[in-house]
Amino acid sequence: MLPFTGLGLLVGFLVGLTGVGGGALMTPSLIFLGVEPLTAVGTDLLYATVTRIFGVFFHGRKGRIRYDIVFRLFAGSVPAVILGGIILREVDKEVLNEYLTLLLGLILVASSVLSLLREELHFPVKPRWAYVYVLGFIVGLTVQFTSIGAGVIVSFALMNVARIDPREVVGVTIAYGLALAGLSFLNYAGIGVVDYRLAGALILGAIPGVYLGTHVNSRANKNVLKKVINVVILIIGVLMLIDKVF
C-alpha cells in the first residue's frame, strides 16, 4: 500500500497548492496501478471528499475561502445534477463521456496555453453574480458525465474572467469540490464499488500533502501561483486528449 500512500501525498499536495488536479490525476493513476475503473472512481471520490475536508479546514484558518462564491456555484450545480441524472437514463453514458471529455480537454489546453502566453486573458464579459450560477450549472453537468473537471474549469473562469485572487480561487475550488465529491461518493457507496482499505492508504498520504500544499500556497506570489495553476490545467488537458485520441 506504500505506493498508494505516496500517490495520495503527491495529489494531496497539488490539491492544497492549486485546488485542481485531484480527480483528473488520481482516477487515471489508480487505473494505471491496476484498480478496476469503477472502483477507482468510487474510491477517488471518497479520497477527494476527505482530502477536501482537510483542505477547507486549512484554507479556512487562513481566511482564503470565499463562501459567497462557493454557495452560488453549488446552487447552480443542484439542478445540473438532477438534469444529468435524467440525461444519463436516456443517453449512453460512454458516448457522452467520450465527447464531453474530448471537448473539455481541448478547452483546457487552448485556454491554459493562451493564458500562459499572454500572461492574462481579457474576456469581453463583465463579471456578474448570475454568471457564477451559470458556471456552477455547467460544471455540475459536466462532472456528471466526465467525473473530472470541476477544479480546472472553476479555477480558470474565476482567475481569468472574474479576476479573483488565485490564492482565494484555490479555497473556492476546494470547498466547492468537497460538496460535489461528497454527493457523488454517496452514489458509488450505495452500489458497493468503493475500496475503503485503498482509500485509507491514499488519505494517509493526503493529509500531510494537503497541509504542505496549503502552507506553500499562503506564501506563494499570486502571479507565480496563477502560472502554476495554468500549467497544471494544461497538463491535465493534454493527458485527457492523449487518453481519448490514443
pLDDT values of the chain reduced to their tens digit, one per residue, 246 residues: 888 999 999 888 888 887 776 666 787 788 778 888 778 888 988 998 888 898 888 877 777 788 889 999 999 988 887 887 777 677 776 666 667 667 767 877 877 776 677 555 555 556 677 888 988 898 888 776 666 667 777 887 887 777 787 778 888 888 898 888 887 788 788 888 899 999 999 999 988 998 898 888 777 776 777 777 778 778 877 877 887 776
Q: At what angle do helices 150-160 and 129-146 cross, to 10 degrees?
A: 160
pLDDT for residue 5: 94
Cell of 39: 472502483
Which domain covers residue 229, as residue numbers? 2-245
pLDDT for residue 102: 76
- Output the CA angle 81-82-86, nearest 5 degrees: 115
pLDDT for residue 199: 94
What is the DSSP annotation of 72-118? HHHHHHHHHHHHHHHHHHHS-HHHHHHHHHHHHHHHHHHHHHHHHHH
Q: Answer yes or no: are the C-beta atoms of 148 and 27 closer than 8 Å.
A: yes
For the purposes of burial, counting CB atoms within 10 Å of the CB of 6, is it exposed (0-12), middle (13-18) or buried (19 or more)? middle
Q: Would the pTM count as exceeding 0.95?
A: no
- What is the rounded distance in angstroms from the CA atom of residue 227 to the CA atom of residue 209? 20
Amino acid at 216: V
Q: How many domains would you assign to the chain?
A: 1
pLDDT for residue 123: 56
